[in-house]
Amino acid sequence: MKKTIALLMTCLLCAALLCGCGNSEETLVLNVYNWGEYISDGSEGTLDVNAAFEDYYYETYGKKVKVNYTTYASNEDMYNKLSSGAAVYDIVIPSDYMIAKMIKEDMLLPLNFDNIPNYQYIDEQYKNNYYDPESLYSVPYFCGYVGVIYNTDLVEGTPTDWDALWDEANRGKILQFNNPRDAFGTAQYALGHDVNATEKALWDEALTLLKKQKPLVQSYVMDEVFNKMKNGSAAVAPYYAGDFLTMYEDNPALAFYYPQSGTNIFVDAMCIPTVSRNKELAEAYINFFLTEEIATANAEYTYYASPNTLVRNSESYQATMQEVHEDVISILYGTDDIQATYYQNLDPETTQYMNSLWESLKVESSVGAGVYVVTAVVLALLLVLVLRIIIKKRINSRYY
């Protein structure tokens, strides 16, 4: 009996030790949700910054971390997924107007900046902006402007404004944003309207212009723009300055300009959703991304403008970027003559109205395409039927 009890005690002790070991080796999971093509990921000999964070955290705190990294194509996609509760994230990187919306809806946690000492390196012009007036919820990640990319081999002349996106000469070679805010923005700037207007009549006018453009548009795109502009299957597209440089590397026939009538300036910032289960770990991640090595690696990989002074003031960074394009600094960081405005958080009624107009535009596109398909199928069937009748008549004429 004593031997049995002793054996049981030994087994229990071993089990306890094994459980203890398991806990000490527990791997923390950090769920990061970011834009596509927006981080140095280790491809083409670059630094894998997520893997670097995992190594850093283990070396510093003795705890294993796994960064679960996924991407989205637009602010609206990110917002819809997060607000639906379909997934839980510890880090998201929305644009300014979406940050304002998420703060208002209590979707973001205030940050503990004691855990983010490297915040001191963020340029003052990117702090305390309209979307986060006291800089409580966000840390700028990248910034930049929207411009127009065009293929000099396919577009005649040197365009300077948004009208290139409505030029009949570019029919079938035009790309347009596949998200409502940016797509309507191109029309609003072209019309000289306020992109933050709440009057429905102004949004209706923008929709009319987008409908006028629709027959000329090859595709509504987000990340798909890269391949289409690189391989020359499209000729002109509105898109972000940093992404132009990525495309230009593969196709030097591409050029870029900021439209004279005005354009959008944006800041994308790191935030922690209220549903996060690892707030301190997320803050450590944000702080790590503000170090010179990591911030520079991301800036050199994505070709986006960095709000980090350690990057912006680095001679090495500037020299590296000059190798990409001779006008790289003015393209990324803009010039004094750019007329740029932020998208601001629209009130719920205006947002709903914009979305309904966008859906009507896209549904009309789908219906139009569907009509063409159905018509083609019907004509094909009629052709087959006519051919069968003709063949049958010829066969009958041979025998009768």
CA distances to 123, 138, 139 from 328, in Å: 19, 27, 24
Q: What is the Cα 68 distance to its own chain's centre?
A: 18
25, burial (CB in 10 Å: exposed 0-12, middle 13-18, buried 19+) = exposed
The 10 Å Cβ neighbour count of residue 131 is 23
Report d(CA 239, CA 175) in Å as an integer.
Answer: 9
Give the residue ranges of the chain where pLDDT is below 50: 1-23, 367-374, 398-400
> Which residues are CB-contacts of 53 (< 8 A; sequence separation ≥ 6)?
65, 67, 285, 288, 289, 294
Report d(CA 195, CA 206) in Å as an integer.
Answer: 10
Q: Residue 25 has what pLDDT?
A: 74
Report d(CA 219, CA 173) in Å as an integer.
Answer: 9
Strands annotated E in the chain:
27-35, 64-72, 91-92, 139-151, 174-177, 217-221, 236-240, 254-257, 263-270, 340-341
Contact 244, 232 (CB under 8 A): no
Residue with tokens 């930049």: 144
* Residue type for position 188: Q
Q: What would the pLDDT profile of 307-344 be if each residue is shown by its tens digit?
A: 999 999 999 999 999 999 999 999 999 998 999 999 99
